[in-house]
């Protein structure tokens, strides 16, 4: 099957149920309306020359129209590249050029940025989720009939989604996910974190992120739940949305879990409708999880995955070891290997986590060498994460080999930030690590060797002007020398130990 036909297989059965709605209730689609809009938009795209294998990019926050455009392009046989609106113009130009995207979907408010992107790439047409001069409106696509093209889809080979991950080298790479990858994972999620048909999901994890795209959006649609879209996180608006929409399921990053656990704001709203919470994006502190359970009176568990392997582990309903991410989901194999020798390790021994299953990516876009570095010939994927299984088969994540910083669930590359730091005229050398932060999980901290007098504020402002907001360096420490190995690699572990000692 194609991904869209799988996800919407029960849309007519739930025709009158609300599938997606915005916070204000101004834009909403029943399942019947959603399925119809997807078919018409697919025809509209085809009428404009969109063909099998073409790439449509979506540059938008979470809105009810997002799943329409995603599945319209998928129905037409295309690949959908979901991109982060917070990324810089230069970063977005790189993504669009590398993928060869022909269509770019955005909001009217972001049209000037989209027009600049179009001028610098091979994008042929802009589509807005609304109305704006100089772009095709989604409503004009919906004027087409409900007889979409029926391209011949090979679910195991044809790529339906293109996301970005820093992989193991620190620079963003396109992750190719096939129809089968996506189908497998929404099914795995529906088995490990099932939703009742009457449930309402507050969709805060961004749809350009695997957590949001697979779990909040598509697994919810498969199970007939109502998605309430939230374009950006604001604590009061978030709590108000739970109360007003009687939200039953929350998908959170640890930052939001801290809000639910400790913020006095939470006492001002009725959160009694919440039945279950799943945390992802970064490790959840067991103490915070316990506080949420006692305060809201509901279950909270955490899952583990990565862009290359989507959601691979999920805590079951029964208690698990504190800090564990639970067991592997159905049809997913996992093993722990010695980082040095590659030997497979038994329980309670730390090593690299490898996973295999129908959800594991096809590979990286235009990066065969990087693909071979992480995908073994037998199908096992190197996650770059260190962990161990206990005697009950529950996985605990210990550390990351690939050194990515997880800021509020977003991936931040130390190598990318170091490259920016080294362009500052007063910086001789620099290194970046993630340091623990209760609210954000981790924040990027720069260690700087200065050529001449410069302030930390000046350094941070310099970086902030050149990267997306979530990538900003938030602490700077001046040191005499960056610790390096004999071959010149930064010894981040040494810097992390220095930070812990301080």
Inter-CA distances, 149 with 34, 65, 178, 182, 296, Å: 17, 21, 19, 21, 47
The CATH number given to whatever domain includes residue 464 is: 3.30.300.30
The CATH number given to whatever domain includes residue 107 is: 3.40.50.980
Q: What is the pLDDT of residue 169?
A: 47
- Count CB neighbours of 37 within 10 A: 23
**Lowest-confidence segment of 55-69, 175-189, 319-333 by average pLDDT:** 319-333
pLDDT at 488 over 70: no
pLDDT at 347 over 60: yes
Contact between residue 253 and residue 217 where contact means Cβ atoms under 8 Å apart = no
Tell me how far apart the alpha carbons of residues 476 and 491 are, in angstroms, rounded to a whole number: 17
pLDDT at 282 over 90: no
**Lowest-confidence segment of 6-20, 148-162, 320-334 by average pLDDT:** 320-334
In a domain, 76, yes or no: yes
* Average model confidence (pLDDT) across the chain: 92
> Which residue range(s) make up the domain with 479?
405-501
Inter-CA distances, 218 with 5, 40, 335, 385, Å: 12, 19, 28, 26
In a domain, 268, yes or no: no
What's the pLDDT tens digit per position in 77-123? 999 999 999 888 999 999 999 999 999 999 999 999 999 999 999 99
Average pLDDT on 421-434 reads: 92
SS3 of residue 207 by DSSP:
coil
In a domain, 335, yes or no: no
Where a domain ends, among 153, 173, 197? 153
Q: Taking Cα atoms as reference points, which of 64, 63, 106 lies closest to residue 81?
A: 106
Where a domain ends, among 124, 153, 182? 153
What's the pLDDT tens digit per position in 32-46? 999 999 999 999 999
In a domain, 256, yes or no: no
**DSSP-derived secondary structure for 80-139:** EEEE-TTS-HHHHHHHHHHHT--EEEE-GGGHHHHHHHHHTS---EEEESS--TTSEEHH
Query: DSSP label at 285?
Result: P
What residue spans of 10-76 are helical by DSSP H?
31-47, 66-75
In a domain, 438, yes or no: yes
Average pLDDT on 419-434 reads: 91
Tokens of 203: 């969709």
Where a domain ends, among 98, 126, 153? 153
pLDDT at 235 over 70: yes
Q: What is the pLDDT of residue 412?
A: 84
Q: What is the pLDDT of residue 487?
A: 44
In a domain, 195, yes or no: no
In a domain, 108, yes or no: yes
Tell me how far apart the alpha carbons of residues 155 and 118 are, in angstroms, rounded to a whole number: 30
Place of tokens 């290359």: 308
pTM of the entire predicted model: 0.84
In a domain, 389, yes or no: no
The backbone region for 396, taken as left when phi is positive above 0, alpha when psi lies in -120 to 50, beta otherwise, is: beta
Number of structural domains (the chain) is: 2
């Amino acid at each position: 099957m194609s991904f869209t036909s799988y996800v919407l297989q029960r849309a007519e059965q739930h025709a009158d149920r609300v599938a997606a709605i915005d916070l204000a209730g101004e834009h909403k689609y029943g399942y019947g309306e959603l399925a119809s809009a997807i078919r018409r938009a697919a025809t509209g795209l085809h009428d404009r020359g969109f063909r099998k294998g073409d790439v449509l990019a979506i540059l938008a926050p979470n809105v009810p129209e997002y799943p329409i455009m995603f599945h319209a392009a998928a129905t037409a046989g295309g690949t959908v590249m979901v991109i982060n609106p917070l990324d810089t113009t230069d970063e977005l130009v790189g993504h669009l050029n590398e993928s060869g995207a022909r269509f770019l979907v955005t909001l009217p408010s972001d049209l000037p940025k989209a027009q600049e992107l179009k001028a610098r790439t091979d994008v042929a047409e802009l589509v807005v989720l609304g109305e704006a001069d100089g772009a095709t409106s989604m409503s004009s696509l919906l004027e087409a009939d409900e007889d979409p093209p029926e391209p011949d889809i090979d679910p195991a080979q044809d790529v339906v989604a293109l996301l970005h991950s820093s992989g193991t080298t620190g620079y963003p790479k396109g992750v190719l996910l096939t129809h089968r990858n996506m189908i497998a994972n929404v099914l795995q999620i529906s088995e490990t974190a099932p939703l009742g048909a009457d449930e309402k999901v507050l969709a805060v994890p961004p749809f350009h992120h695997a957590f949001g795209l697979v779990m909040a959006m598509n697994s919810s649609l498969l199970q007939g739940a109502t998605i309430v879209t939230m374009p950006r996180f604001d604590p009061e608006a978030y709590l108000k949305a739970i109360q007003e929409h009687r939200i039953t399921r929350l998908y959170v990053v640890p930052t939001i879990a801290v809000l639910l656990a400790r913020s006095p704001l939470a006492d001002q709203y009725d959160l009694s409708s919440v039945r279950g919470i799943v945390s992802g994006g970064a490790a959840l502190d067991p103490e915070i999880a316990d506080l949420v359970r006692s305060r809201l009176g509901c279950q909270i568990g955490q899952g583990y995955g990565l862009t290359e392997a989507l959601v691979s582990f999920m805590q079951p309903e029964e208690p698990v070891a504190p800090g564990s991410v639970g067991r592997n989901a159905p049809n997913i194999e996992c093993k722990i290997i010695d980082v040095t020798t590659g030997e497979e390790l038994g329980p309670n021994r730390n090593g690299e986590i490898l996973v295999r299953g129908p959800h594991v990516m096809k590979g990286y876009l235009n990066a065969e060498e990087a693909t071979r570095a992480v995908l073994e010939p037998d199908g096992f994927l190197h996650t770059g994460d260190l962990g161990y299984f206990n005697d009950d088969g529950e996985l605990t994540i210990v550390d990351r080999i690939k050194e990515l910083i997880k800021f509020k669930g977003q991936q931040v590359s130390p190598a990318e930030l170091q490259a920016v730091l080294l362009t500052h005229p007063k910086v001789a050398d620099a290194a970046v690590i993630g340091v623990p932060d209760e609210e954000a999980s981790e924040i990027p901290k720069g260690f700087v060797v200065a050529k001449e007098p410069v302030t930390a504020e000046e350094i941070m402002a310099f970086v902030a002007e050149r990267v997306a907001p979530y990538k900003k360096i938030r602490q700077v420490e001046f040191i005499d020398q960056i610790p390096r190995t004999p071959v010149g690699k930064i010894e981040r572990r040494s810097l992390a130990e220095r930070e812990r000692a301080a």
